[in-house]
């Protein structure tokens, strides 16, 4: 790592990076809250690796963050981006993820594609709850991690204090597994009393690495600096030895033996690679005209030396398309092709571009592959089982696409012209189709009801929506049959804003946002009777149908029952189905506020017919009239859908969340402790009250809580609220 004190050679800018073997690839995802400095750190690493010039630009003047016009307008990352760099002959795929909670789907895609994670923590803002949750998810699968502290230039930024906070947040039962490899080296105090960080002190090597000139320079520490170095160094050595696979090393060290630095570095690298030790480093972007940003060389050395190769990444479960398990060797370049689409984007010039992680085999241009579906049909993403021809392969760099000749197992690559493949789909050999187990996607719970702005937009809306959801599996498209609304289910307001902006700017579709309607129902609260008389006999062929019905309420979930109790042939047998058809048609339209009628029994008890003028249509009309008359004499209840809600929240917010649920007319059913410091709250809440719960809960819990919901039943709405709904229905009629 950085304390090896070797000469390293950055990769050359301006050329596409190709790896010929998995051992020369490192896939690293950057994780952290919005504003922590992930994208700035990626650019700093690219500069130090020689992928950028001193101005922080690639040849055409773009930067690595020039990836999406929407990101520039919103001043934040909204999607996963890949920046490949080279260091010491190792290709490093840096996966920059959005830090905002609305784009957690992009983060999960980055975690799926990566073999290790850099958690970027701002010294000015600290560790937020959502970052802790992602750390726990990485820990659950044993993903190697390191921590990078940024924004050390901020007033009151304290590296040592932030390291302690990280150890508490991430160390769990073993805070000594979270320790710094370097200490910041500060220059003289400025007029504001703040001493800027100008370099780093390597604890294992006892060397100073000065970045003040814009290029890393090594020197020896002064005598006055050694005591602080030794104290931190001894703690680091003990932390490394505690994770050593050599069980005798700790006894030898405690017995006074001087452990060789090379042995410590090897043990450190092994502990980091297996996810047992989590080094803390510091980083800062390069100043204008500088070749290297502070800490970037150390980070690149950590990634190449300490992070695992793709060989060490457990392969997700693979089956044949009909579900039979398939055993594959990890990262076998000569094995059967298994790759996965981790991101889908639309380029205005190239068309659809798929970011693909190759897990087995080798992917080449113009190869015919089998595309297997991902099981998200409930979100508007159809399952796939088709063959497609791969287009050009390339490596991205900002808005550039640099052609490559192949992608080996373990590598990432952009694939053009996969017209059917969507995010989460598996690519495999045409004659050996396989399917990878999909990764877990968050459920979108914020509804966005939309309609085309004009007739021209209406013609393009369907295609635009299908392309939008193809790019983003965290979005669900619903064509609600009850409310006749087109609804995009999103993860939050920012997610919704980006969806609307993409529809407008990328697909040329202007839409209007309209209030989201909940699927209400109507039912009879008491028994009632009605008479339907449809008689028209003025000239020509007449219409004659009379029927009498009784209506009674049924238990919830019963639907509509129709019973025939006509005696004596008052209504001829051939017209009884006509009456039922008319009753059911009117029930579907509603009898009070225009919502479907449910949970009633309609009994046909009497009627009259004419030998010439009675007809199917006449009795359908009479049946509908009879139901409307019965409703006029009955109390009609409006039924609202009730959702079963489970909220996973930190113990600190349990009281606030339960109080909020009660204010939403919710009934708390119980709580359950899950893990350390977290609770699941189960409740039933009317869907009228939780339209914006995804946004409100995030605010209430500072982004640390999440919830899921499922339909429970319809039940009567309180009278005052029902009256307001009826008034609104009358106003909109």
> Tens digit of pLDDT for each residue in 50-109?
876 544 454 444 455 545 555 545 555 788 999 999 999 999 999 999 988 888 889 999
pLDDT for 402-433, tens place per residue? 899 999 999 999 999 888 888 889 999 999 99
The pLDDT of residue 69 is 55
- C-alpha distance across the termini of the chain, in Å: 71
The pLDDT of residue 9 is 53
pLDDT band at 5; cut points 50, 70, 90: very low
**Best mean pLDDT range from 27-41, 377-391, 457-471, 526-540:** 27-41
Q: Does domain 521-634 have CATH number 3.30.230.10?
A: yes
Write the burial class of residue 77 (CB in 10 Å: 0-12 exposed, 13-18 middle, 19+ buried).
buried
> What average pLDDT does the segment 612-623 reach?
94
Question: What whole-number percentage of the chain has pLDDT above 90?
Answer: 61
Distance CA 431, CA 435 (A): 13
The pLDDT of residue 592 is 86
- Of the candidates 439, 435, 426, 428, the one whose C-alpha atom is nearest the C-alpha of residue 319 is 435
- What CA–CA distances, in Å, run from 37 to 97, 116, 444? 11, 18, 27
pLDDT for 123-179, tens place per residue? 988 898 889 889 988 988 889 999 999 999 887 889 999 999 999 999 877 888 999
- Of the candidates 49, 56, 117, the one whose C-alpha atom is nearest the C-alpha of residue 88 is 49
State the fold for domain 318-436.
Elongation Factor Tu (Ef-tu); domain 3 (2.40.30)
Q: Does domain 447-514 have CATH number 3.30.70.870?
A: yes
The pLDDT of residue 352 is 84
What is the pTM (predicted TM-score) of this model?
A: 0.86
How confident is the prediction for the chain on average, in pLDDT? 88
Distance CA 641, CA 684 (A): 10
DSSP line for 411-458: -EEEEE--SS--TT-EEEETTB-EEEPPPP-PPP-EEEEEEESSHHHH
pLDDT band at 679; cut points 50, 70, 90: very high
SS3 label, residue 585: helix
Lowest mean per-residue pLDDT among 187-191, 245-249, 253-257, 612-616? 187-191
Half-sphere exposure in the Cβ direction for 410 (13 Å, CA)? 28
> What average pLDDT does the segment 696-701 reach?
93
Lowest mean per-residue pLDDT among 111-120, 382-391, 483-492, 581-590? 382-391
Token digits for 85? 């760099």
Half-sphere exposure in the Cβ direction for 185 (13 Å, CA)? 27
Same fold for the pair 2-312 and 521-634: no
* CATH of region 2-312: 3.40.50.300
Distance CA 299, CA 281 (A): 7
More confident residue, 19 or 12: 19
Distance CA 371, CA 725 (A): 47
* Burial readout 422-435 (b: 16 or more C-beta within 10 A, e: otherwise): bbbbbbbeeeebbb
Half-sphere exposure in the Cβ direction for 404 (13 Å, CA)? 27
pLDDT band at 518; cut points 50, 70, 90: very high
Residue ranges per structural domain of the chain: 2-312, 318-436, 447-514, 521-634, 639-732
The pLDDT of residue 180 is 95
* CATH of region 639-732: 3.30.70.240
The pLDDT of residue 225 is 82
pLDDT for 293-344, tens place per residue? 899 999 999 999 999 999 988 888 999 988 899 999 889 999 999 999 999 8
């Amino acid at each position: 790592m950085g304390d090896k004190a070797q000469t390293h050679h950055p990769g050359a800018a301006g050329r596409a990076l190709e790896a010929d073997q998995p051992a020369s690839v490192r896939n690293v995802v950057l994780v952290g809250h919005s504003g922590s400095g992930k994208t700035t750190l990626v650019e700093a690493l690219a500069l130090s690796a020689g992928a950028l010039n001193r101005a922080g630009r690639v040849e055409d003047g773009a930067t690595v963050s020039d990836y999406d016009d929407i990101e520039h307008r919103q001043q934040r990352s909204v999607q996963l981006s890949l920046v490949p760099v080279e260091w010491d002959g190792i290709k490093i795929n840096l996966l920059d993820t959005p830090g905002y909670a609305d784009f957690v789907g992009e983060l999960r895609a980055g975690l799926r594609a990566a073999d290790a994670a850099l958690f970027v923590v701002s010294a000015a803002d600290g560790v937020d709850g959502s970052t802790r949750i992602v750390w726990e998810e990485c820990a659950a699968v044993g993903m190697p991690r390191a921590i990078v502290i940024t924004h050390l230039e901020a007033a009151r930024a304290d590296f040592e204090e932030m390291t302690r906070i990280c150890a508490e947040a991430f160390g769990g039962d073993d805070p000594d597994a979270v320790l710094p490899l370097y200490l910041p080296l500060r220059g003289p105090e400025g007029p504001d009393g703040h001493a800027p960080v100008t370099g780093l002190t390597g604890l294992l090597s006892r060397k100073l690495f000065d970045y003040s000139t814009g290029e890393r320079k090594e020197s020896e520490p002064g005598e006055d600096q050694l005591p602080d170095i030794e104290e931190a160094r001894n703690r680091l050595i003990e932390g490394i030895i505690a994770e050593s696979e050599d069980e005798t090393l700790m006894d030898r060290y405690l017995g006074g033996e001087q452990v060789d630095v090379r042995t410590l570095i090897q043990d450190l690298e092994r502990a980091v690679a297996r996810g047992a030790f989590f080094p803390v480093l510091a980083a800062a972007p390069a100043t204008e005209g500088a070749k290297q940003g502070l800490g970037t060389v150390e980070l690149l050395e950590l990634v190449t030396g300490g992070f695992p190769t793709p060989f060490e990444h457990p392969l997700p479960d693979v089956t044949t398309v009909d579900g039979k398990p398939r055993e594959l060797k990890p990262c076998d370049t000569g094995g059967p092709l298994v790759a996965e689409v981790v991101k889908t984007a639309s380029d205005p010039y190239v068309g659809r571009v798929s970011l693909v992680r190759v897990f087995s085999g080798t992917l080449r241009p113009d190869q015919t592959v089998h595309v297997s579906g991902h099981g998200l049909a409930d979100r508007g993403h159809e399952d796939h089982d088709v063959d497609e021809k791969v287009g050009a392969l390339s490596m991205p760099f900002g808005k550039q696409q640099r052609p490559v000749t192949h992608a080996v197992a373990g590598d990432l690559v952009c694939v053009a012209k996969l017209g059917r493949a969507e995010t989460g789909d598996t690519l495999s050999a045409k004659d050996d189709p396989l399917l990878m187990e999909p990764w877990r996607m968050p459920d979108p719970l914020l509804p966005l009801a939309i309609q085309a702005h004009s007739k021209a937009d209406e013609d393009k809306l369907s295609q635009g929506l299908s392309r939008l959801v193809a790019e983003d599996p965290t979005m669900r498209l619903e064509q609600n049959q009850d409310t006749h609304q087109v609804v995009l289910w999103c993860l939050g307001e920012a997610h919704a804003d980006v969806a609307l902006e993409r529809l407008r700017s990328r697909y040329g579709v202007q839409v209007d946002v309209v209030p989201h309607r909940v699927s209400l129902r109507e039912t009879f609260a008491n028994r009632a009777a009605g008479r339907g008389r449809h008689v028209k006999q003025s000239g020509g062929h007449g219409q004659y149908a009379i029927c009498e019905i009784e209506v009674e309420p049924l238990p919830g979930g019963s639907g509509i029952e129709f019973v025939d109790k006509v005696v004596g042939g008052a209504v001829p047998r051939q017209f009884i189905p006509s009456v039922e058809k008319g009753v059911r048609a009117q029930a579907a339209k509603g009898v009070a506020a225009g919502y479907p009628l449910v949970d009633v029994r309609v009994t046909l008890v009497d009627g009259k017919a004419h030998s010439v003028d009675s007809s199917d249509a006449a009795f359908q009309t009479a049946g509908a009239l009879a139901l409307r008359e019965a409703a006029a004499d009955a109390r009609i209840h409006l039924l609202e859908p009730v959702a079963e809600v489970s909220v996973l929240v930190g113990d600190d917010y349990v009281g606030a969340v339960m109080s909020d649920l009660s204010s939403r007319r919710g009934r708390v059913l119980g709580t359950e402790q899950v893990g350390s410091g977290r609770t699941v709250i189960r409740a039933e809440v009317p869907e009228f009250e939780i339209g914006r719960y995804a946004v409100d809960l995030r605010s209430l819990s500072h982004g640390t809580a999440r919830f899921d919901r499922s339909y429970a039943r319809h039940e009567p709405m309180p009278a005052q609220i029902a009256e307001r709904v009826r008034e609104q229905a009358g106003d909109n009629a």
